[in-house]
């Protein structure tokens, strides 16, 4: 029996039925038929193994990194400040969109670029308002935001949501300072671990997390199944 979990937020955002499926050995035709019966237009599958029968629906890979707190400091977290819940700017929206360069929503040709950008603008806005994050940090210099990071928590674990350094300022250690600033905040909250997800294709982010002492915990293959 195919397990289909309807995703209310995603469905509202895209204005059509969206669901999450558990990995299955059934073929694409059977899956599509089951989705049609539920009026689902888009379904996500995350699998630890490649699913050859769904090869045409593969969007990319996702990797989960984790580290034990506190992190060992390797840099001075200068110019790292908290972002006010009332703050909103084109700089923050631009950084949010840059953070999604390798996102499955950007890589999927069936999702318009405008919709991808709207999704990430919504993500940063809800984070800044503290709806889905308890803290947000920025790297600022001369009143310019060079990078940002959003922080959430669940139980004894902290979680990095969005993280980005503006393309004009990359290569200067800002990403590492943001992560270490976030780790300090997590430690102040008495959290024991920190998790972050990124795309396997995002080589720069993977190198950054490795350099900060994170270890790979899980890898997934992501599939987007569209029903015409």
Span 122-136, pLDDT tens digits: 999 999 999 999 999
- CB-based burial of residue 177 (10 Å sphere; 0-12 exposed, 13-18 middle, 19+ buried)? buried
**Separation CA 175–CA 186 (nearest Å):** 17
- All residue ranges of the chain with pLDDT < 70 are 1, 23-29, 74-76
Question: Judging by DSSP bridges, how do beta strands 215-226 and 42-47 pair with one another?
Answer: antiparallel
Q: Are 201 and 60 in contact (CB under 8 A)?
A: yes
How many helices and strands (H and E) does the chain possess?
A: 7, 10
Q: Residue 31's pLDDT is what?
A: 85
For 42-69, how does the pLDDT look when each residue is reduced to its tens digit (9 = 90+)? 999 999 999 998 999 999 999 999 999 9
Q: Where are the domains of the chain?
A: 4-59, 65-220
- Are 221 and 21 in contact, with CB atoms under 8 Å apart? no
Question: Whole-prediction pTM value?
Answer: 0.93
Please tell me the predicted confidence (pLDDT) of residue 128. Answer: 96
3-state secondary structure of 122: helix
Structure tokens at 97: 């969109």
State the pLDDT at residue 75: 63
Q: Which helix (H) or strand (E) holds 103?
A: none
Strands 144-154, 18-21: pairing is unpaired
Q: Is 37 exposed, middle or buried (0-12, 13-18, 19+ CB in 10 A)?
A: exposed
Return the residue matching tokens 């009332």. 86
pLDDT for the residue 93: 97
**pLDDT for the residue numbered 113:** 98
Query: How high is the pLDDT of residue 74?
Result: 66
- Fold exhibited by the domain 65-220: Aminopeptidase (3.40.630)
**Which residue shows structure tokens 């819940």?**
85
Backbone phi and psi for residue 172, each to the nearest 5 degrees, phi listed first: -120, 15
Note if the bond before 70 is cis, omega within 30 degrees: yes
8 Å CB contact between 191 and 57: no
Identify the burial level of 223 via C-beta atoms within 10 angstroms of its C-beta, where 0-12 means exposed, 13-18 middle and 19 or more buried: buried
> How many CB atoms within 10 Å of residue 7?
17
């Amino acid at each position: 029996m195919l397990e289909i979990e309807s995703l209310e937020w995603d469905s509202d955002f895209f204005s059509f039925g969206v669901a999450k499926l558990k990995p299955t050995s059934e073929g694409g035709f059977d899956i599509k038929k089951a989705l049609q019966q539920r009026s689902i237009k888009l379904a996500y599958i995350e699998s630890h193994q490649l699913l050859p029968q769904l090869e045409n629906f593969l969007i990319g890979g996702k990797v989960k990194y984790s580290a034990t707190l506190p992190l060992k400091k390797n840099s001075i977290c200068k110019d790292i400040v908290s972002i006010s819940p009332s703050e909103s700017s084109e700089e923050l929206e631009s950084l949010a969109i840059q953070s999604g360069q390798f996102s499955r929503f950007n890589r999927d040709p069936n999702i318009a670029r405008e919709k991808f950008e709207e999704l990430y603008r919504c993500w940063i806005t809800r984070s800044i308002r503290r709806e889905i994050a308890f803290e947000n940090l920025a790297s600022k210099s001369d009143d310019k935001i060079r990078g940002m990071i959003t922080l959430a928590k669940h139980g004894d674990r902290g979680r990095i949501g969005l993280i980005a350094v503006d393309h004009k300022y990359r290569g200067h250690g800002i990403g590492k300072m943001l992560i270490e600033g976030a780790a300090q905040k997590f430690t102040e909250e008495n959290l024991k671990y920190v998790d972050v997800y990124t795309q396997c294709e995002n080589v720069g982010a993977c190198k950054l997390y490795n350099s900060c002492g994170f270890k790979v915990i899980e890898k997934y293959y992501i599939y987007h199944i569209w029903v015409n």
